[in-house]
Amino acid sequence: MSEHAPNLAAGETLFRKPCDFLMGVVAAEALPAPRALEVAFAGRSNVGKSSLLNALVGRRSLARTSNTPGRTREVNFFTLGEYVYLVDLPGYGYAKASKTAVAGWNQLIEDYLKGRTALRRVFLLIDARHGLKDTDAAILDLMDASAVSYQAVLTKADKVSAGELEKVMAQTATALAKHPAAYPHVLTTSAKKALGLAELKAAIATLLAD
C-alpha cells in the first residue's frame, strides 16, 4: 500500500482545481508576497519538470516543454485554486549556458529559497535513468543551508527496468539520508505513462493540509 494511500482522494480533489500561470520572475525583488501556500519543483535541465507539472494538472501546455535544456530561466508561479502556488524553479546544470547566466539562475533559486515562509516543500526531480549527479550537489547543500524541506521525485520511470528503478531509488535514498533537510521517502513518476502521479498529488495535499 502506498505511504500516502489515505490521501489519494484529497490529492485528486486538489488537482482538479483550476490551475493558471500567474507570473515569471527573473529577479528577487519581483518575487510575489507569500499570500498562498507553496510547493516548488527543482531539478537539472531536461529532467522533465514542465512535463510533470502539465501531467499533474491535466494540461498539455500550462508549463512550456522543450527538448532544449535550460529553457526555464525564471521562477514561474502557477495558481492552483485560490490558496496554492506551484512554483517551477530554473533548471540547473545546463553546460552550454554562460557562467554569468548560470550564476544568475543559481542566485535566483537561492533568493527564492531564503525566507520563503509559505514554502512547504521543494520536490527535487531526478532522472531515473541517471540518478543523482554531481550537478545536484550545490542545490542539495543550498536547501540544507536554507533549512528547506525537500523530497526526491524520480522522473521518466517508464524508461528504465523495474530492477534498475529499484536500484536508483535505493541509491537516492541512501545519498539523501546524509542531508538533514531531505525527506526520506523517494517518489517515482512518469509523466508520459501517468505513473506515480496520484501518489505525488497525495503527498502535496498532505503537506498543504498540515
Phi-psi region of 164 (alpha: psi -120 to 50; beta: other; left: phi over 0): alpha
> Hey, is 79 helix, strand or coil?
strand
> What pLDDT is recorded for position 67?
44
Q: How far is CA 71 from CA 87, 141, 195, in A?
A: 15, 24, 25
**Predicted local distance difference test score (pLDDT) of residue 1:** 39
The amino acid at residue 155 is T
pLDDT attached to residue 102: 61
Q: Which three cell numbers stand for residue 59?
A: 494540461
The per-residue pLDDT string of the chain (210 residues; one tens digit each, 9 = 90 and over) reads: 344 455 899 999 999 999 999 999 988 899 998 889 999 999 998 899 989 999 999 987 786 654 444 445 789 999 999 999 999 998 887 655 566 666 676 788 888 998 789 999 999 999 999 999 998 998 999 899 999 999 999 999 999 999 999 999 999 999 999 999 999 999 999 999 999 999 999 999 999 987
- Number of domains present in the structure of the chain: 1
Q: Are 60 and 54 in contact (CB under 8 A)?
A: yes
Contacts of 173 (CB under 8 A, 6+ apart): 152, 184, 186
pTM: 0.90
- pLDDT for 68 equals 44
CB contact at 8 A, 137 and 92: no
Q: What is the pLDDT of residue 107?
A: 84
- Residue 106 is predicted with a pLDDT of 77
The whole-number pLDDT of residue 64 equals 61
CATH label of the domain that carries residue 128: 3.40.50.300
Identify the pLDDT of residue 61: 73
How much of the chain, in percent, has pLDDT values that exceed 70? 86
Q: In sequence order, which residues have a C-beta less than 8 Å from that of residue 150 and are 6 or more positions away?
A: 42, 121, 122, 123, 124, 143, 181, 182, 183
Domain span at 127: 5-209
